[in-house]
Structures are given as structure tokens and as C-alpha cells.
Structure 1
Amino acid sequence: MEQLTQVWIHVNKFTGPIPNLSRCNNLVDLQLRDNTLTGAIPASLISLPKLANVSLQNNVFLGPMPVFKPSVQVSLGNTNHFCNPVPGPCDPQVTVLLDVAGAVGCPMTLAESWSGNNPCKGWNYITCDAKGSVTVINFAKQNWVGTISPAVANLTGLKSLVMNDNNLTGPIPVGLASLVELQLVDVSNNNISGKIPKFRSDVIVKTSGNPFMGKDLPPSAPLGRSSPSSSGGGSDNSPSAAKHEHKSSFSTWVVVAIVIAAVALLLVLFLVIYKYKSNPTSKLSRGKEQKLKNGSPKNVNGYGAIPSTASQSSAANSEIYVYDGGNVTIPVELLREATNNFNEENILGRGGFGIVYKGKLHHGTEIAVKRMEASIASNKGLNEFKAEIEVLTKVKHRHLVALHGFCVNGYERLLVYEYMPQGTLGQHLFDHDQLGFLPLTWKQRITIALDVARGVEYLHGLAQQSFIHRDLKPSNVLLDDDMRAKVSDFGLVKNAPDGKYSVETRLAGTFGYLAPEYASTGRVTTKIDVFAFGVILMEILTGRKALDDNLPEDRSHLVAWFRKVAVNKENIVGVLDPTLDPDEETYQSICKVAELAGHCAAREPSQRPDMGHAVNVLAPLVEQWTPTANTGDDSFNIDFNMSLPQALQRWKANDDSMLSEDTYTSSSTTSKSITAIRKVSETEKNTLSYTKENQ
């Protein structure tokens, strides 16, 4: 123990209080973050002579806020329940109750509600009188393990101590007998030992169900779990701690033994990883693999991507970022509850940012929570986190995935999105057999393509600022229950340059979707998104991935192969996804999309159209698949997804058709220009008047 210098046991779901660390005199680095540890911070930790770095965030520690030496780098986070927001002693009653809680291991159900410096305000298991004195402690039927802390005798207003049906050991504290207000002591059905103190005759004492009651157990007998520290958080020398220190040593060393075993295992893993990282060949191969993402990755439920290199974040990165806009900060506790404490069963996908979980809020709203853990909280990851929030606070569009809020908590960064239940376009194109999806129909495919085009068109020129996505691909196109698409993953988005272009020194994106000028020179314009959209159209047409190493080399690169094969309409049928069986009308639509795909993926950016042109090409193709039967009051058969010019043309056609049916107005119909909506009511009025006159 004395030679121990580094302990990393973070993100392990460990529970209970920190054991006595007074013998770890050489400990330098202690990582306890992201567990469910409780209890007060022991003085034995605070006073370690060589301690330089300690992380305690994302736990539920109680007691006073600890004060470490100025040389110690401390990360506390904001989930702990210290009695005061600044260093200082707790209320005397709080100090006693924390000692009582420590004697039973400070269970999470207790720690979660014991927040603040007033036990009479919402503390579970505690009852107070009108004067603010604790009168009842009720730990009945909790199945807790430990002892009864002698500190309980310091609650002078205590009337009832109810601790029946647990697994408590040790004696009943003698000091209880001196409490003048005491009326009830119920310790039945435990493993209490020793003699019963001499209580007043009017005090009800229930001790049945304790087989060792009245017997003094030998010192080697197990005495249960007791407080590893005083509840004062800055001292282990309280009177109550001294009285039961010998009882706590057994359980403390059990915990310490477990910690030592865990540390030994971590040291072995560290040596293996160090050996692996020190191999130059491995470094070189990893470096090549991680320069860029490669191909269209398979992911789960629409929230996957390529994993990034893990790196340990420092505490210096724990500052909270605040952004303007409509998004809100969301408490981490709410997200833990919504995701069942980030349960693995709720994982939707893993990506370069971290892990995405499905969650459900109290009112039933389903959400997707993207969680960047500390192990990947590199500068690159933090930059993507900030970029995604900054972009999504400025853009709102029906075909861009909506950001509900975010959370910054210690090392963790979390983004909360709307949940898209049908996964990604990539899953439906490439993995539909494995996932049990029906193949996409042509109508669904061109509707999805139009949705993506409209979303990107908005990014390029219709939002408050002009943005470039830089990572368009099928795995970043999410689908809702109606198979309507929304573009996601805005971590690589950048502002469009004011001039002709800007030059990036570090490429970002995914192989197979990178425009040639971007991959070779780093030149960035909105046309690199147009190129990627062209590749997506080719994937929609062929059902093939942008890069597929399983195919022969001359066919593995989709864009190059598509350019050679789909040179005319006759050849297009040979490149189509086999699940498509188009009739003649559908085939004409397919040919137009293939032509658009070729233009969008042209080698020269000057030969590529803008996204507005793509919308204009795709919109009429989607429109022809819209049901023509009118329902309700929709007398003009208008699709409100149309552009304004298309809607005006449809209004004109409907207006002309209606007027031509009436002999009174048919002669004037051919001379009319496009009719405004308000003209229709006038026409109906004329028609009605003519009908009445001829009855």
C-alpha cells in the first residue's frame, strides 16, 4: 500500500464510501470519477502528502466540501451533495446524520436525497419537529449492512430510532439511554450483539430476532460495515469515529483489498497497453488508419460512426460552455434516469464522439443522448462538441435533426437529440436483410433524397449563416417513422468562406465522399457537400456503398465505376439495385436521378450544380408520386412540400380547370394569367350566381 502511486478506478459503478487511505503516503494520482461513490471525503485522503491529482466528479459524495492543498489538482463536478456550496463545516445535526449513514455504508438511496445543510428539508428517512430538531430516524426494512453509530446519541431531540429488519451488527450504543426525549428503539430482526443499555422504563425497546443479543462477540467476529470516515469530511477524529474505529477496520480492509486487486489488474493492463503503444509498427499502422474515416460504416439504429483514438482528458477541460440560442442545459441526473444510468441495453451506436443512447423522459418523449466520455475527450472531440451546439442553435429546419439540449458535467459532454426510430439511410440501403427491413421503394428513395437536398440547401444559403456540412453520407441521414429524412452529425460543420474558397490543413470527412479538390488540396466550398450528395444518389440508385473492398478493384470505388458504366440511359438498368423492379414511368424518373448524380459528383467543382438545382430536379419526381385523390377541404390538390413556383402553377392549373367547366366563364379562361388565391373565391361567387339565374 505504501508504494502505491496511481489508482485509476473510474467508470466502474463502484458504490459506498472511500476507505481509509492514511497508509497510501506515496499516492500521487487518484481517479474515482464516474462511479456511484457516497459518504464524506475522508481526511485521510485530503492529507495525503504526495497527492497531486484527484478526480471525484460524477459521484454522490456528502459532507463538507473538501479543501485540498493548493498543489493538488481537484475535479469535483456538480453531482456531489456537499452540505455547503463552499468549504466550511456542516450543521451539527447533518454531521451526526452523516456519521449514522456512514455506519451503514451510506447507501445510494439515502445519499441521493441527503442534499444541503438542513436535514428537515426533503431528507428521506428523517422526520423533524417544528423547531427543526431531528425526532425520527427510520431505516426500517432496508436490508442495509453495518452498525449503529454511537454518534446518534448526539441528536438530543431524537424520539424514535427505527432500524428493524436490516443486517446490522455490533451493540446498541450506550449513549442512547441518556436521551431524555427518546420513546422508541426498534432494532428487531438484525444481528445486534452485546448487552442492552439501561433505558428508562417508559422507553419501548424492541430487540427480538437478534440471536446474539446479550452476548459479547469476540473481536474477530464480523461486526458489519461502519463509517470509514467522520461525517465532518475534513476530520477523522470525531468522538464517534474514535469509539467505533476498531469495528470499522475489518470492513475497511476488505474494501482496501478489493481496491488493491483492482489496481493490480489495471497495472497489468497498463503494461500491456504500454508495450503495444511502444511498438513503432503498430503506431504507424494506427496513424494511417485514423487520418480519415474509411467508407460507410455499419452502425446500430442510426447513431453510429467510426471510433476515434482514446485519450485521457485533463481536469483543465472541465469548464462549462454556455451558448446562445434556444437550446437548454439539461441536468445529468435527468439523462441518467432517462437512459437507465446509461445502460448498455439502451446503446444505439458508437462513434467518434462517443456512445449514443436511447432515452425516455417522464412524459414519454423518446430522445437520443450522445455521450462523450472522458476517455475520448480530446481537443478534437471538444471542438466537435462545441461546433455541433453552435451550429444547431443557429439552424432550425424540418430536415435537420433537432437538438433538444446539452449537458456539461465534469469530464462528460452530452448532446440530446430527437429520436429517429427508423435508423439510417445506410442501414436501409446496405443492411436491410440483416436488420429485417423491407427494401426501400423508389418512392421512398427519391423522397429521402429530396429531404436531404432541402436540408443541405438550407445549410448552404437559407439559414442565418452559410454552413458546409463536410461529412454527408448515408449513416448521417436519419429516418423517422414516416421514412422522412433528417441530416445529422454537425461536429465537422464549418462556416462557408466569404470568398471563393478556404483551405483546410487537416482533412475531415469520410473516404468515398470526399470531393477531389478537397482531398488533394484541402479546398473547401459548398460544392464538396454537393459532391457527397451525388455519391449518396449513386448509392440510392445502386444499393452499393461508396467504397466496398469486397468487390474487384475496378468496381470497388462507386463513383469511378458509375461514371464508366452509366454513360447512357440504356446502361443504367444494369447498375440499379436488384431490389428495384421499375416500370417504364419509374425508369424515366430513375434516369433523371442518375443524370443528377453524375452532375453532382463531377470532377470539377465548377461543373457541379448548387443544392437548389438538386431540389428543383427532385421535387417534380416526388410530386408525381403524390396521391391525386382529394380529401377534406383540399380542393386545390396542393402538396405543401412544393416550392412556391410549383404551388402557383398547380393553383393556376386547378383554377383554369374549374373555370373551363362553367360555360359562363370558359371564354375568358384562356386569357387569364396566374391567378392569386383570393381570385378563386371571386370565381366561385360568379359561378354560384350564374347557377341560380339559370335554375
Structure 2
Amino acid sequence: MAKPPNSPPPLLLLLLLLLLCPLLLLPLSSADDFAVMTKLASLLSPTPSGWTGTNPCTWTGITCDSTSTHVTSINLASLSLSGSLPSTLNSLSLLQTLTLQRNSLSGPLPSLSNLTSLEQIYLDSNNFTSVPTNFLSGLTNLQTLSMSDNPNLAPWTIPTELTQSSSLSVIYASNANIYGSIPDFFDSFPNLQNLRLSYNNLTGTLPSTLGGSEITNLWLNNQLHGLSGTIEVLSTMTQLSQVWLHANSFTGPVPDLSKCTNLFDLQLRDNQFTGVLPASLMGLSKLANVSLQNNKLQGDCSSCCAGDIGYPISLAQSWLGNDACSEWTFVTCDSRGNVTIVNFGKQRFSGTISPAFVNLTSLKSLYLNDNNLTGSIPDSLTSLPQLQLLDVSNNNLSGVVPVFPSTVKFISVGNLLLGKNITTGSGGSGGNSGSGSNSSTSGGNSNGSSVSAGLIAGVVIAVVVFVGVVSFVSYKCYVKKRHQRFGKT
């Protein structure tokens, strides 16, 4: 075929095509954004005022980039809108702000995945019905996620892909039908200051990565079945100013919050906290609002006995007030109101033996047997002036056995590690291994080594004697029978 006259060379055609490509693509991407906005307008009722014409960049509440080709912001807050959102919303590639709160929007939420420019999401107070699995994937610049008060959402869990949004500073998702545990991922959010997840169905314990975070505002109150475990992690959240944990199932003592110097509001009511309030709580100068009612908190006296065993709920339910002689379980008093017997035997308590028992100067009998107590026996117990009986048998105690007065019956059988220097925590003083285990003495020096050695020697001698007697008797019987049989013959 003959080449057309005056046709441009192939190289020139290629260069012209490369120059025209950006111009060809620009209208296409603009058309994508405009198509999404046109679809959104058709789904809303009533159509927002000012939404006239074919160019969404001129509509009220819509902001575009400098070229007027890409939508960067949608602001439709508080316009009494109903309807739904288009599934293609994540085609708005340069969208930075999505503000739709306080309307009556319904239907499923669209995926916002891979909107890498998106920084602010406000979906609060609507009637959305479901959250897609990839809802928040790839939002690398997200700073605010606010979607509280969407009670019609189908149950959903906190998505772990949020860790891709390391710039998050606000997470508001209260009353949004979230269930399951709180992910332990807060070390991924160095700028997170506000976390509100109240009125959901969250369960489990507080994540350890909350410790050391920058969170100032923490709302986890009123979970349907209740968060559980202790709140010890709060003691390391030094930036806290407001904490709402009420109406849950938290247990254990209220921790030392002395490092939370900005704390002004602490709501802990309607839980199962036990123990004594730390004195440091009253030293927080900014603390103005505190609620503690409907817990199992105890007076100072109870800390003597229950502190090192974690204030078990069985004690907290009856140890009310600060009078140990006021029908406290496991406690017996004399006519003058002095504690004479503490019986914690066979209660499955764990922890260590508190040296503060020494404060019960009228104590005569202390039963700690058949539990899961660890650590050593406090030396201070040897100075109890009225003590007559101490039973620590069948636990997991270790360390040196203190030397009790001859007037004390000391029972310690069933502690295989007692007399061995094993570091397991507080309780009593450790020491060199030198006291035998499984001793049971009545008065005198409680020298575990001598008692155990004597016991072992006695058992060995008894066994030898017994075997000798049995052997001798058996031999005599054998000889006698043999003699009788041959005598008849």
C-alpha cells in the first residue's frame, strides 16, 4: 500500500499521543467523581438545597480541588436527610472529609477502602444497617473516625485494619452495636487521645497496649454484658483526664492513679471492685467528679487480711464497712470486739500471706490451710502475742520457716517447697535453703531441717524393724509347718 503523502513520521505520532494522554485521562477521572455525586443526589431525600446543575463542584456543601475535577469534601450534617449512600463512594479518590452526622440515612455503609486522602469521617446519629468487612482498609491518613449512635447496625467487631491508620487521634463508636473484645493494638496509634466505645457489647479485659498511650478521654461504660478483669493498666495511662468505666463487671482493687495528674473525672460505679481505695486518689488535685457506689469496696481494716490475696469476691460481699466484728465471714471476735480467729481454710484463695496479720494483736488462731498460697511465711507472724495456732498446710509455700514460740502450734504439711529459697513474690522474708518441708510441730523451735531429718530417720528405723519382725515370724511359721509335716511321717 502506498504511504499517504505528508503523513507525520511514527515517532512524532508517539510523542503526540504521550502529550495527549493526561488530557484524555483528566476528563475521565472527573467524570468518575461527577457520576458518584450524581448517584448520591439521586439516593438522598430530599435532594439537598443548592444541588442544581451538572457540576457537583458548585453544589452546596461540596468542595473540590483547585482544578474543579475531584471532590475533596462532602458536608451534609444536620440536614434531615434520609436515603442511602452509593456503593461507589470510594471512587472519590481525593476525598478528605465525609461529614454526614445527625441525619436519618439508612442502608449498608459503603466501603471506604483505599481512600488514602481521607482524614475525617463523621457518620454519627444515623440509621445505617451494616458495616462491610473492608470498610476502613487502607485509610493511611485517617485522623478522626466518628460513628456513634447508629443502633441499627448489624453486630460487628472493631476492624484490626485500623492499624493502617496510624495517625488516628479520635475513635468515637458508642452505641454502634459492636461486640467482641477490644483489640490489643493501641501501640499502633501514637496520637490517639479520644476513645469512646460506650453502650456496646464489648467483653473481655482491657488491652495491655492501652498502657503508656496518649489517651486522655476514655469511655467504655455500659457494655451489655460487661468488660471484666482488673483496671490496673490505668495506672500507666498518665495522660488520662476523663475515665468512664461504670456499669461493667470489672474486679480487683482500684489501682494507684497518682501518675494521672490531669484526671478530673473518674466514674467507676456499678462494678465489682474490691479492696481499699488507694490514699493517692485523694491527692489528685484536679479530681472533681468521682463515682464509686455499687461496688464491693472495703474499709482499711479489711486490707490487713485480704490485700495480698486480691480481695476475693467472697470476702467483698460480706466484709462491708470497717468493723470486722460486724458479721464478717471467716472472722470470729471476742466480747470486746477483738478479732481472735481468722479462718480462710479450704477457700481456694490464691496470692501470698499478708504480713499485715500482725496488726491483729488479739489473734489466737489463723487458718490458711488448703488454698493456693505462694511465697514465704512472713517473719512478722512470730510476734503475734496471743497466737496459739497457725495452719498453713496444703499450699504452695516456699522459703525459710520462721521460728515460732513454743506456745504456737504450727502446721505446715503439704508444702513441698517450704524450706527452699524460691522467689515467688511478697509475703515473708526469703533465706537460704535450710528448713525442711512438710513439718508439723506443736511448740518449740520450728527447725524444719531437724524435724524432717528426725521424722525420716524414725520412719526408716520403723520400716527396718517392721521388715525384720515380719521376716522372723514368717521364718518361724515355715519351720514349724515343715516340722509338723515330717513328724507325722
Smaller-chain TM-score range?
A: 0.3 to 0.5
Structure with the greater relative contact order (CA < 8 A, sep ≥ 6): 1 or 2? Answer: 1
TM-score scaled by length of structure 1: 0.28
Write 1 or 2 for the structure with the bigger share of helix.
1
Structure of greater Rg: 2
TM-score scaled by length of structure 2: 0.39
Write 1 or 2 for the structure with the bigger share of strand.
2
